[in-house]
Structure 1
Amino acid sequence: MGRTKLYPVGSGRLEKIAPALRRAFDVVEPGRDPVPRSLRAVPGLGQAGTLVEYLGPIVSAPAVDGEKPVVLVDSVGLFPLLVGILCEQRDVPFVVRLRGGMWKEFRDRAHTESHLRRHSHNLHKEFVRNRVLSLADRILPVSPFLRAQVAYELEVDLERVRVVHNPLETDRFDATPEGRFKRAIGLDDEKFISAITSFNYRRKYEGIVHFVPAIQRVLEAHSDWHFVIAGAGTAYEEGRERIRERFDEPVRDRVVFTGFYTPIEELLVDADIALHLSFRDAGPMAVLEAQAARTPIVVNTGGGMAGLLDRSVRGTAVVENDDELYHSLNEFVEEPERRRAVGERNRRHIEREFAPETVAAEFRHAIDDMLS
């Protein structure tokens, strides 16, 4: 079998997995190949530039003799639907990479809208999503949890659904000097627990809201520790106030909101403990990034976070309730050597399971099996 020619189209997020893709395939970058003349003007359709970016490479793909073209998208909106339809018509293998959760995700994102608009938005988006996935020759969720969601939500042959993880290069964490984030937010030498969330999705930041009592107990017991929350989104003001109001006044001044912060490496390298509390996330990069930064991390069971950890490692903390979270955090706070040891094991786990060459092999196996 010759080397497969892969056309990743449509989303800038595909750039993040480009190192893994290039290890496995001959990758054709969007916009690099000549655009067919027939697509330079599409009457009656707006956003023609975006349409060309999606459809141009696909029309060109089968024209090269002896190659095995495959089209890859990583979103499930209207343009991927057009891509899928065209691939079906031209008998081009169509692969969809799934990064996000499958349970009422559009309704959750639109929670600030009216009930009628939210319901309409949800039905429209889910119809398009399901149609895109029905056209896919392969569906590649980024976590086992997300694969289970696909099985639950859709009538689909699970042989078409293969887990291909998010790749992560660790060099950028090694190159990040310590102390920059603390200086930026004025913490100096104080210790802190970090949490990264999105305020675009209610069920993401509600994970933090739910577990505030446990974090409150830790801050009360350790007056030199802070809780730092990074993240932004359309419901930032609402979410921030809901979280703040749940903390009692004596510790509230040690709860810090940074809003959107970049580079995220600076935050995670400086963090003493990372938290990821969510009822929405299927395979969040923040969990991988915390481990790459050698930071011990505690997650809850309300999503796919636990599947990104090495559960065989003693000290891996996956919690269901406030008491479990309090005890896990408190042990890390009181045992700095344990924090360091778990952090090192986390890093080795990322290097072993999520390195670009490892994920490239997952991609290659999933695609080669489809083409065989």
Structure 2
Amino acid sequence: MDASLEIYEKMKRQKCCVIIPTYNNHKTLKRVIDGVLNFTQDIIIVNDGSTDSTSQILSNYPKLTQIHLEKNQGKGNALKVGFKKAKELQFKNAITIDSDGQHFPDDIPVFIEYLKQEGEILLIGSRNMAQEGVPKKSSFGNKFSNFWFWFETGNKLEDTQSGFRLYPLDKIPNRFFTNKFEFEIEIIVRSAWNGTRVKNIPIQVLYDMSERVSHFRPFKDFTRISILNTVLVAIAIFYIKPRDFFRRLKKKGFKQFFLENILESQDSKMTKSLSIALGVFIGIAPFWGFQTVLVLFLAYVLRLNKVISFAFSNVSFPPFIPLIIFGSLKIGGLFMENPQDVFPNSYTDFDQIKQHLVQYLIGSFILASIMAVIFGLLGYILMTIFSSNKNKQIRNA
């Protein structure tokens, strides 16, 4: 069987179409469409309000599904329109390819083979950003995006900005909040948060500056991307990471979590003990609202175990908060000249409120320090005992 025909049949079985968003890329559009037609006729073209000869070019492909938007609304919106149409046509997967000529349609079989092997997965074509001709701003922007994707999801990718992708349509969010270039960041981050696997696969890339038309506006679009990443980081820190931690803890149970994530870690006992101490200190100290970002930052700077530090920073989860506040006020009172009642009936003036707050702050830092030392030492002792028992079992086996 001809290779192209084989891919055609595989795409049919996988219910996979190709979406081509386009805006004023008349120089390369025909070449891209003809290249995709070598593998499938299930193509959805979204003309995002082009003002060049795009409409005339598309008139030569009457059998292809075409959507013509009156005004340019951004690549993200064009992709959303394409996804909606693909779902209406009962497709389960969609490959997106840019119309500016930088991608090679000949790489479509690579996506289909990975889809066949991996099942439901979001694939992103990984370009060789080190090759000659790649604009420096593209290389920098990609590294910038890769870092924030890792921070927001814990998943390391080599290329998060490539528009040559395969989306499992049932595994991506139904609603989005962005419409332009930043959309392609939002969709992979939120898909990863929902449990969708996101992976890079190698593809070819061509940067022909005589043909390629880029609609990326450095200042405006970089600002929009930065704002989006700020929002995503906040959501990751205050919701996603705590949610995932408690899900893992609930699924494994504390004993199994302790065995797998602490005892089986390759870090030294001292590093793990210090990680526990850091987490407990940050969890008890009065850094309300900033505990997660602070513990992750300090664990990174101090080269400690981020998973362990984050886990123990949750020592201040709701049932323990009253006990922490009570202990902090009690301990703080020992260091105050005029200690305040832990639970005063009322405040007579602002000075009394201020003294009560100072008493709490002093006590919380002291309590945090004491508990950090206790938990760190206890962790070290338990790890030593478990390690000794494990070594005895190995010798007796």
**Do these two structures clear the TM 0.5 threshold for a shared fold by scoring above it?**
no
Higher helix share: 2
Which of 1 and 2 has higher RCO (CA within 8 Å, sep 6+)? 1
TM-score range, shorter chain: under 0.3
| Superposition TM-score, scaled by structure 1 size | 0.24
